[in-house]
Every structure is written in C-alpha cells, then in structure tokens.
Amino acid sequence: MATYKAPLRDMRFVLNELLDTERLRRLPGCDEVTPDVVDSVLDEAAKVCEEVLFPLNRSGDEEGCHLVNGEVQTPKGFREAYRTFAESGWTSLAADPDYGGQGLPKTLTVLMEEMFCSSNLSFGTYTGLSRGAYFALRTHGPDDIKRRFLPNLVSGTWAGTMCLTEPQCGTDLGLVRTKAVSQADGTYRITGTKIFITAGDHDLTENILHLVLARLPDAPAGIKGISLFLVPKLLVREDGTLGARNGVGATAIEHKMGLKASATCVLDFEDAVGYLIGEPNKGMRAMFTMMNDERVSVGVQGLGLAEVSYQNAVAYARERLQGRSVAGAKHPDQPADPLIVHPDIRRMLLTMRAYIEGTRALAAWVSLAIDEAARHPDADTRRSGDEFVALMTPIVKAFLTDIGFESTNLGMQVLGGHGYIREHGMEQYVRDARIGQIYEGTNGVQALDLVGRKLPAGYLARFLEPVSAFIAAHRADAGLAEFVTPLDEAFGRLQEATAVIGRAGFTDPEEAVSGATEYLRLIGLVALAYLWARMAKAAVPKAGAGDDARFYRAKVDTARFFMQRVLPQTASLLAAINAGGRSITGFDEASF
C-alpha cells in the first residue's frame, strides 16, 4: 500500500538555511511570514495532504471522471475533499487580501503546491488552474470584472480554466479559429471548440470561469490577432449572483494515460457570452501571465510525484528481502538481505534523492525571485527578478518534469514486478508524471524558448552572476573543494556551450536550436550543482554532532553523490552541443 509523509524537515532547511528568509520578510506584505507562521502553515498543509487528499489518490485514479447528461462527475470523495480544502482557506493562499486572499508569498506556497502534487495531483489540477486564472484576471481584467468575479474565485466557490488548444492547433496558437463577435452591450459572443481543457467541467464548484483565446472578425492573421475572453459556465449578474447557463458545455472527456481523476474535456462554445480581458488582439500577452505561472507549477508537479515515488521506493527497499549482499550477508539472521543493501538499488534511490532535494531548492530559489519581482519597492530589483524568472521558467517547467518522469520510473524499477502492478501505486505515478513533459508547452518548446528568446535577451547574466560569485568566493575553501571544484568545471562547460549556441544563432538558427534540449538540461544541472554546493556549505558545520547531525550528514552525502555521479552528465551534453546539428537537420526526410 502506498504511503506519503510531507518532507517538512527538508522544506524548512530550504527556507531557513538555504534561502535568505530575512530577504523575503523585508518585502512589502511579507513581514508577518515569521518562522512560527511558516511552520504552522506547513504543518496544516501536511495534515490536509496526508489525511484528506492522499487517501483519494488511488481510488480517484481507478474510478475516474464521468460525463453524465453534459455534466462531469468527479470521483467519490472529491466533492467533500474540495469543500474541506476551500473552507480551510487553501484556495486563497497566494491571492490579494483585497479579494479575500491571504497574500502569502510564492516562496512559501510553492512548497505547499509540492505537497498537493505529491498527495493527489489530479485533485491539484482543479485548484491549480483556478490560481492561474486568478492571476490573469487580477493583472489584466478591468475593475468591474475583478469586482464581480475574483472574490468567489479566491474563496474556491468558483473555479477557473485555461482554454487554448483546438483540434487543428496546439503549440501554434496563431491557428486558433474560435470566433468572438462584439455586442452592443460591450460583451462578446464566443463560438468554437477547445480540446484538452484541464478541469473544463466538474461538480466541485458552483461556477467555472473559462479564459478563452479567440479571434475577432477583423483581427490580423496569426498570433497577433488573438484576444482573451472570460466566459463563465453560468452567467453572473451585476450584483455577483448566478444567472442562466451560458452557451458552453463539455461534450466529451479525453481518455488519458494518467491523471484520470482530473477531467480533461472537449468544450463547445456556442454563442457564449464573454468579456474581453486586456486589449483586443493582445490576448497572448494576457494569457502568458497565466501560462508562466502554470509552467512553474507544472514543474513542481514533477517534483511532487518524484518525492512520493521516492518515499515508497525507500520503504519497499527497506522491507523487501531479496538476495544477499555481494560483500557477504548483511542480515544473516534473515533468509535474505533487504533490497537496500544492493549498490544498484542505492544508485537509483540516491539519484532520485539528489534530483528531488536539488529541484526543491531550485523551485524555492526561483519562487523567491518571483516574490521580489512582484513586491520589491526598488524598480531595478523588480526588473532583475523579472529577468531571472523569465530565464528560469522554461528550465523549471522542462527540467523538473523530465526529472519527475525519470524519478518515478526509477521508483517503479526499485519495486521490480511489484512496481508494475497497481497494488503499490508506483505505476500511477509514472502515468501521472508523463503529461508534465507535454502540456503547458512541450519540453522541446521550452528549450526553444530558452535558446531562441531568453538567451538573445541577455537574461542569462542573472543566473551566471550569482554562480560565478559563489565559485570565486569559495574556490580556495579546502573544506568545500569536493563540491566547488565540480561546480566550477560544469560552469565552464555551460559557458562554452553558451558560446557555441550563440555563434550558431548568428549564422544558422537551425544549428543553434538543434542543441536546445541538451542546453536546457545542462543549465538545469549546473543550477542544481550550485544549489547543492550551497546546501553542502550550510550542512557541513552541523554534520558532526547534535540532535540533527544525521540529517546534515545525509545532506552532505547526497551533495557528494550528485557531484560525483549525476553532474558528469554535463560533459556528454557539451559534447552533443559541440557536435552541431548537421546529423539531425541533414538526415534525409524521405528516410524516416
């Protein structure tokens, strides 16, 4: 039977010993985010995840969602769990107090997102889409729309979605055909079909607010002619009360590989009433506010699934008796040794652990920059934070979801045949993790964004500067040499790869993007190496003795494993980038 325990000790380490939490508390609106408050919030989040959400994870996967008379029914227990979740205030964590929110910083809420994803990712998709819709409406919606719609969205009484994809277009949203026609009363009538709409319909809330990309009759062709509209499932009167059913409904539920308790719908819009959000033909600018928030959150999905898979793999490896250690029996009083004595099992578990703790630190580091970009009173600091977040968003989305899928597969491998059957829950984590590499822009698209947009914009300096400064400050520290020296070497490979791709970009863009996926993973690994070196620095002085010495020794030992067994990937990634793209682009198309 699968189990889950929120990794609160490591989360507190990231917040209190890796990051500068005083830097966070100095931000406007964050002065009350004290250690006591943080501990209380994390403890309560852990309880709801362990006791309410996790018990529904397997049953929700087995039952799935059903479309009955045009309405989606979620699995047994989901409605009650959602009511508990919303009434306890979890839907309002990051929202503005002006709309009933708690105003908590992303640096804290990202850790709770991880718990939600570990305990029940299907459930988390409903609340995650609502959070993204809130950010888009708060940023780009007119005041009357915010007044009418945001309070109920924040409270969880209503939910939100993001409606982009159509049968003929996914990533290339310039091909969108959904139409929007203006009306005399200032509203629009929306007609078209959207597919793959996560949480497109369900029975958890009174209303659902769809954010829909559509094209005005006189709009220019392509991506520059896309506008964004708010289309509620039920119409909302001026006083905020609900009216008649709008012209939008679910006509099918997609039959998916995973996330079966998350309703992924085909939505038909037939002359549905909508409200323009942002400027005409500037819908992508407004939608990217939601999409970029979702991309970070999708990365955290990979982290959350990796964590729960790791926990269950460790538990099984401790208990399962299988073979004898090659060094001789470690438990001669038993008929066989537990799996955890075998080097290959340890390799898999340590790989998972190194990735999980490293990516948790990365998600928190980027989240602190999100908070500074949104809250800091100094314009230069906000701009610096914005540029760092813009650079790191495709990395968080792609790298963390790649790691999530790799880690859940490793977790299943630890259990062997028992991992392949449903009883232990490991195969569900693999299935659920796979979509993260696809939605919110495939990971290949994230790599193109990194190389094609973020590097030419000069944003890479926001990452290189702190890493370079750390290396320079600690290069002569003998006690950290085993961590700083590998980081320094990998950092040099990243700089070389950046120069190679930069030169190619001036002469042959196809050559530059041929190495984009390898480049994204390279920078992701260097980011983890930097954070592992910092974590080792924090842990080394405390690893010798004391009540928590084992925790710190494990932190140092995991950092050592990462540097010795994971970071060397950067050498092969650089070799692939240096090889160029001719073997890819020059292959005869007819030979495929």
For each of the chain's 592 residues, which pLDDT tens digit applies? 899 999 999 999 999 999 988 889 999 999 989 989 999 999 999 999 999 999 999 999 999 999 999 999 999 999 999 999 999 999 999 999 999 999 999 999 999 999 999 999 999 999 999 999 999 999 999 999 999 999 999 999 999 999 999 999 988 888 999 999 999 999 999 999 999 999 999 999 999 999 999 999 999 999 999 999 999 999 999 998 999 999 999 999 999 999 999 999 999 999 999 999 999 999 988 888 888 889 999 999 999 999 999 999 999 999 999 999 999 999 999 999 999 999 999 999 999 999 999 999 999 999 999 999 999 999 999 999 999 999 999 999 999 999 999 999 999 999 999 999 999 999 999 999 999 999 999 999 999 999 999 999 999 999 999 999 999 999 999 999 999 999 999 999 999 999 999 999 888 889 989 999 999 999 999 999 999 999 999 999 999 888 899 999 999 999 999 999 999 999 999 999 999 999 999 999 999 9
Alpha-carbon radius of gyration of the chain = 24
In 177-226, which ranges are E strands?
A: 179-182, 188-198, 207-214
The contacts of residue 473 (CB under 8 Å, 6+ apart) are none
166 given a catalytic annotation: no
The C-alpha atoms of residue 16 and residue 111 are separated, in whole angstroms, by 13
> Is 63:74 a contact under the CB 8 Å cutoff?
no
Q: Beta strand 66-68 with 71-73: parallel, antiparallel or unpaired?
A: antiparallel
d(CA 171, CA 306): 27
- Round to whole Å and give the CA distance between 323 and 319: 13
| CA dihedral sign, ordered 474, 479, 480, 481 | positive
Q: What is the DSSP letter of 91?
A: G
Distance from C-alpha of 291 to C-alpha of 117, rounded to nearest angstrom: 18
Interatomic CA distance for residues 557 and 67, integer angstroms: 50
Handedness of CA 543, 548, 550, 556 (dihedral sign): negative
Q: Please report how many Cα atoms fall inside a 13 Å half-sphere around the Cα of residue 64, on the Cβ side.
A: 15
Q: Closest Cα partner for 119 from 61, 160, 195? A: 61
The residue from 307, 357, 440, 518 that is catalytic is 440
Residue 151, Cβ neighbours under 10 Å: how many?
Answer: 18
Note whether 129 and 162 are within 8 A (CB). yes
- Cβ atoms within 10 A of the Cβ of 237, count? 10
Separation between Cα atoms, residue 12 and residue 21, nearest integer Å: 11
- How far, CA to CA in Å, does 542 sit from each of 354, 477, 538, 555? 19, 17, 8, 10
Beta strand pairing call for 248-253 and 264-277: antiparallel
DSSP one-letter code for 165: -
DSSP state of 54: G
- Cβ proximity of 178 and 197 under 8 Å: no
Beta-sheet strands, E only, within 215-263: 227-232, 234-236, 242-245, 248-253
Residues 161 and 211 sit within 8 Å (Cβ to Cβ) = yes
Q: Which residues contact 203 (CB under 8 A, 6 or more apart)?
A: 71, 72, 73, 74, 79
| CB 119, CB 380: distance < 8 Å | no
| Distance between CA atoms of residues 462 and 458, nearest Å | 8
Amino acid at 541: P
- pTM of this structure: 0.97
Beta carbons within 8 Å of 576's beta carbon, 6+ residues apart:
515, 518
Nearest to 26 by CA among 377, 482, 400: 377
Half-sphere exposure of residue 448, counting CA atoms within 13 Å on the CB side? Answer: 8
In angstroms, the CA 557 to CA 552 distance is 9
